[in-house]
Structure 1
């Protein structure tokens, strides 16, 4: 049975200029970051080879959210996750990191930073998340416990029948921490982009 509320709190949980195309494929065999230029923005897919990535925002405002209970591969089996989709969002102070263990090298971290001056604009984001935490978050027009096969807040995500789902027309959150196996976006508009490879453990949080 659907449960609807006008405001639902989430606690403790879930441009780039038109100048260049940057490709950072399978750097030292750790994860992959592929960035392609598309009309002043970028289409991006972020994936970690052996562990979840971590992403953080100082603030995140989004609209047309859907999600449902899912799983991600883990060793020879799988582990619980939530597949989340945001049709549009703006985030300040994006940090995205992946920690990997590289043979003969040891622990290495990839860090991506953007949005310190102007917010990162995100269209069509889908994340397979194992953790979403914010100390201060609000969902607008939230529907929690909706059958995943009936999700219609956006055209990005719909799940199988009988699976717990959620959707909302809006999200406002601060100090957001997200752990995810994959993050995909149809477009990202980035300012002040920085990509670093660092020895050791230097995750976003």
Structure 2
């Protein structure tokens, strides 16, 4: 991905919103279950919604970044996001939806994915990175540090590999040993994961808008 922001005063804007409630960022979504994170990719022109009863993640690191790609008309687009990284996470009763508008002969089409609906079989992820635009949740953090540098080598999860062109390693970030998020509702642009295990996966297409919330 080409760099859109490399530092300077723009990065200070992230500090205004990087408060503990935003540190709770938890996008779930479909990861790249290939054992290693994607080196670079262009985000689609569509956000997706995610709802979950609960997410428990370890070694949270959170910082500001830019997701770049094209809009639905093929024009260049850049989206400020809050990236949350976890060394591992479990997600209970996850629902993800994305609506594609103006499909010929059908109008809007919704793709909805559900997984981890059984209490003893949650969704499981490792090396999880989430590019989030909006979040509503109840959050609890264990051993949180606010105001650390994004690229500090003591951050156990660390910034996403090969993401440095989009991330100021000296910019504002925060970390926590454990993050527990309940009643999660969010909009996201992208999710990547080293592994992503979706127990009881159900995928459906609906005509019209049938989002998770």
TM-score, structure 2 normalization: 0.70
> What are the equivalent positions in structure 2 for 1:1-205 lying under 5 Å apart?
10=21, 14=25, 49-73=44-68, 75-104=75-104, 105-117=106-118, 118-134=121-137, 136-150=138-152, 152-155=155-158, 157=160, 159-205=167-213
Stretch moving more, 79-88 or 66-75? 66-75
Give me the CA root mean square deviation. 2.9
Q: For each residue in 1:32-90, what CA deviation from the matched residue of structure 2 results, as whole angstroms up to 9, or x when unmatched?
A: x687688xxxx99xx97321111111011110111111122365442321111111111
Secondary structure of residue in 2 paired with 1:93: strand
Match of residue 17 from structure 1: none
Is residue 86–residue 127 contact of structure 2 (8 Å, CA) maintained in 1?
Answer: yes
Q: For each residue in 1:134-185, what CA deviation from the matched residue of structure 2 results, as whole angstroms up to 9, or x when unmatched?
A: 0x21111112222212161214537423422111111112101221111111
Match of residue 4 from structure 2: none
Deviation, 1:195, is 0.6
How many residue pairs were aligned?
173
Pair 1:143–1:53, CA change in 2 (3 A):
same
Match of residue 16 from structure 2: none
Is residue 153–residue 169 contact of structure 1 (8 Å, CA) maintained in 2?
Answer: no
TM-score, structure 1 normalization: 0.73
Q: C-alpha separation between the residues in 2 aligned to 1:111 and 1:87? A: 26
Secondary structure of residue in 2 paired with 1:149: coil
Higher strand residue share: 1
Is residue 9–residue 138 contact of structure 1 (8 Å, CA) maintained in 2?
Answer: no
Q: C-alpha separation between the residues in 1 aligned to 2:34 and 2:62? A: 28
Question: Which runs of 5 or more structure 1 residues have no equivalent in the other structure?
Answer: 1-7, 15-32
